[in-house]
A and B are shown apart, each in its own frame.
Chain A
Amino acid sequence: MSLWVDKYRPRTLDELHYHDQLSARLRSLAASGDFPHILFYGPSGAGKKTRIMCTLRELYGPGVEKLRIDQRVFVTPSNRKLDVNVVQSNYHIELTPSDVGMYDRVVIQDILKEIAQTQQVDLNAKQRFKVVIINEADALTRDAQAALRRTMEKYMNNMRLILCAGSTSKIIAPIRSRCLLVRVAAPTDDEMSKVLHHVAKKERFHLPDPASDAIISSSSGNLRKALLVFEAMKMQRPDLSGDLDVAKPDWETYCGKVADAILSEQSAQKLLEIRGKLYELLSHCIPPTVVMKTISERLVEKVDDEVKKQIVHWTAYYELRMRVGSKKIFHLEAFVAKIMMVYKNYTLMGMMDDIDMF
C-alpha cells in the first residue's frame, strides 16, 4: 500500500486540481509538436514534479510510466568513478546531477551528449525527441550550467530539457533565456482544502472542517506536507474529531525549545547547553539553514518590535556566512550568541546598536 501522496498523485493534466490555466498551456504545448525547453520553478510541495510527469504523459502516452532505475557509472577526468542513479523510460531520462557535488559537469556532459546524439529508434513513438529531466537545477554548479548552454541549442532536434528548480535566481541568465519559464505557485488555502476533501472522498470518510483548517495552516502551502500530515493524523485518530493537534515534526518543537532557552537566560552556561541541542539537531540531518530559520521565526514571535528587526538582520547575516563558510556549527553558535547579546542589551538597558553599517 502506498502513501496517499503517491496514491492520489494526478497522472494526467486533466486530473490536476489547481492552476488550470497552466495545465491548459502545457497541454497545448505538448500537442503543438513544437515543444520548448522548460524550466519549472516554485516552492517545494507545489506540484512541480507532478506537472512534469503529467506533461510527459501528455507527450508520449502511458508508456512513460514504465520506469526503470539504473545505476550509471561516470568517470571524471581525474579517473574517479561516480555512481549516479538514473530513472528512465523509453522516452525520457531523469537525473539529479547535483548529488555528485562538484563533478556534476561530467554527468551532464556525458548523459546529454549520449541522448542528444542518438535518435529515437522507436518508430511508433509520438515525438522524435527524448526528454531529459534535471532535478534540483538550481544546485548545479556554474560549470555544469555553462555546459548546458550550447548543447541546448545544438541538439534541439533530438532532445528537450526539462529543468526543475526551487528558484530561478541561481540559474545563469543564458540558460534562462533559452527556456520557457513556468512558475508553479504553491496552492492557495482553498485549493488545498479542495485537494484534501478530494482525497477524503476517495478514501470514503468525512473530513471535518476544523481538521482540514488545522492541516492547511500547519503546512503553509506545501501540499506534500499537508497530505503526509493528513495521513498521519488519520492513523492516530480515525474519527478526526474533537481537539485536533497537528503533530509537529520533532525537530520543529526542538527548535522552539532552543528559542525559548535563548530568551530565558543569556549566559555562557546557557550557550553551552544550547550548543548541545544544536549538535543534536544537526546529527539528525536537519539542514542547518532550516534550523536557523526556524529558531529565528520562533524568536520573532516572542520579542518586541525593535528586536525583531535585529533578529532578522542577524539571521540573514549568519545564514550567509554559514553558506560561504564550511563548518556550520560555528555560525549557528555565533548566531545564538549574537542574539543573546542583542536581547540582553535591549532588556537591560533598552539599547539597540545600529543595524546599518553605513
Chain B
Amino acid sequence: MTTFASKSAGSGSDSRLQPWVEKYRPKTIDDVSSQEHTVAVLRKALASTNLPHMLFYGPPGTGKTSTILALSRQLFGPDLFRSRVLELNASDERGISVVREKIKTFARETPRHVGVSSDGKTYPCPPYKLIILDEADSMTQDAQSALRRIMETYSRITRFCLVCNYVTRIIEPLASRCSKFRFRPLDSTSSQSRIEMIANAEGVNVDSGVLELILQLADGDLRKAITYLQTAQRLHSATTPPTPVSNMSIHEISGVVPTDTIDDLLRSMGVDPESGIDQDFLKGGFEAVKNNIKGISRDGWSAGQVLEQVHDRLIPIATIGTIAKAQAALAIAECDKALCEGGDEEIQLFECCLRIHAAMAR
C-alpha cells in the first residue's frame, strides 16, 4: 500500500483511479454497443462530414454521451477537440444568461481551418463547431426557447447536439429543429460481450453466473453494470488473498432487497409466493403487515425498491384472480406516485400493503 500511495502522490493521473466507465468509453462510434441504427446514420454523416442538429434521447446508461463524444473526437481529432467542441452539462450554470452569452459567443466564432493534426492522422475537420448540451432536459424552458433562434442563425458554422433522458421535457420548437435519435436499452448479448471484454481486460476473477446477475440487475443500463463490476472488484481485490467476485456481494452492492424479505412481506399480505392466495396467511391481518413494514423500514430498505420487487414478484403469480391482481397493481401504482411526490415512505408503503391485503382477501 505504501508504494501505491507514493506513486499516486507523484504521478499526474493514475489510470487505476479512473472509473472504468470513463476508461472504457468507446473511442470511435463503431465501438458503441447496440444502437446499430443510430450508429449507421452517424457513420454516413461522418463520411459526408455533414451533420444535422441532433437530439439524443433514451434511458440512462445506453451510450448517448459516449456516442457524441466519440463522434466529435473522430470528426475533429484530439487537437481541435478543445477549440471546436463546447460541452455543457447540468453541472454548469445554464440559465438564460449563459445561453445568451457563452453559447452565443461560441456559436458566433468562425472556425479556423487547420491542416494536419499532431498525431499524423487526418481528420475530416468539417468547417463547423459542435455544441453538446448534455442533460438538456434539466434546462429551463426559458433557456431552451432562447436557443431557438441561435440554432438557426448560426447553423452554417455551428451544430447542436442535445442529449437528454426524457424527450418530452424538450420544448417542441427545439425538438423539431433536430433529427432525433432514440437510444434503446441495451440488449443482453451486446452488453454481455462488453462487460466480458472489460472483465477480461481488467483481469477480474468472477464466479460463474456473476456477470449474468450483474446484467440482470442493471436492466439494460451499461454504466450501472460496469460500476457494479468495478465496485465488486474493489471489494474483492482488497481482501487478502483476493477472492473471486461472488453473487452475494453483487446483491449487496446493488441495494436489492433479499428475496426472503420480500416473500415474508408477501406472506403477511396473504400471498404465498409459490401457490398464490393462501387463507392461512390472510389471517395475520393488520398486525402481521405492520410488523413486516416496521422491520423493513428499520433495516433501511428503500420503499421504492421494495415496491418494485413486490410488483415483480406478485404480478406473475398465475393463480391470483385478475381482479385482485388489477387492484393490487392500482395500489402499487398509487403508492409509487405518492413516493414520487415526496410522501413519507413508511406510511405510504404500509397503506399500499394493506390495500393489497384487502384486495387478496376479497
Q: Identify the A interface with B (CB < 8 A).
A: 25, 28-29, 31-34, 36, 41-43, 46, 77, 109, 112-113, 123, 125-129, 142-143, 146-151, 153-154, 156-157, 167-170, 173-174, 176-178, 180-181, 183-186, 220-221, 289, 293, 296, 300, 305, 308-309, 312-313, 315-317, 319-320, 323-324, 355-356, 358
Return B3 CB to nearest CB of chain A, in Å: 10
**Cβ contacts under 8 Å, B13 to chain A:** 157
Q: Does B327 contact A (CB under 8 A)?
A: yes
Those of B345-362 within 8 Å (CB) of chain A? 345-348, 350-352, 354-355, 358-359
Q: Are A32 and B18 in touch, CB under 8 angstroms?
A: no
Known: A174-B60, A181-B254, A312-B354. Is A112-B91 also a contact (CB below 8 A)? Answer: yes
Return B118 CB to nearest CB of chain A, in Å: 24
Known: A177-B60, A184-B300, A356-B327. Is A168-B255 also a contact (CB below 8 A)? Answer: yes
Q: Are A312 and B351 in touch, CB under 8 angstroms?
A: yes
Q: Does B237 contact A (CB under 8 A)?
A: yes
Q: Which of B17, B223, B303, B355 contacts A157 (CB 8 A)?
A: B17
CA distance A68 to B21 in the complex (A): 35
Candidate in B18, B60, B165 with the most chain A CB atoms within 10 angstroms: B60
**Cβ contacts under 8 Å, A317 to chain B:** 351
Q: Does B315 contact A (CB under 8 A)?
A: no
**Cβ contacts under 8 Å, B239 to chain A:** 28
Quick one: CB contact mask for B303-324 with A, threshold 8 Å, 1 for yes? Answer: 1110000000000000000000
Q: Are B298 and A169 in touch, CB under 8 angstroms?
A: no
Those of B84-106 within 8 Å (CB) of chain A? 89-93, 95, 97
Q: Which of A168, A169, A170, A313 contacts B355 (CB 8 A)?
A: A313
Return B233 CB to nearest CB of chain A, in Å: 9
CA distance A177 to B217 in the complex (A): 11
CA distance A145 to B93 in the complex (A): 13
Q: Are B16 and A150 in touch, CB under 8 angstroms?
A: no
Q: Are B355 and A149 in touch, CB under 8 angstroms?
A: no
CA distance A25 to B238 in the complex (A): 9
**Cβ contacts under 8 Å, B235 to chain A:** 25, 28-29
- Chain B, Cβ-Cβ closest to A124: B9
Q: Which of B4, B91, B344 contacts A319 (CB 8 A)?
A: B344
Candidate in A123, A153, A154 with the most chain B CB atoms within 10 angstroms: A153
CA distance A33 to B17 in the complex (A): 8
Return A250 CB to nearest CB of chain B, in Å: 22
Return A67 CB to nearest CB of chain B, in Å: 24
Return A312 CB to nearest CB of chain B, in Å: 5
CA distance A316 to B221 in the complex (A): 33
Q: Are A32 and B238 in touch, CB under 8 angstroms?
A: yes
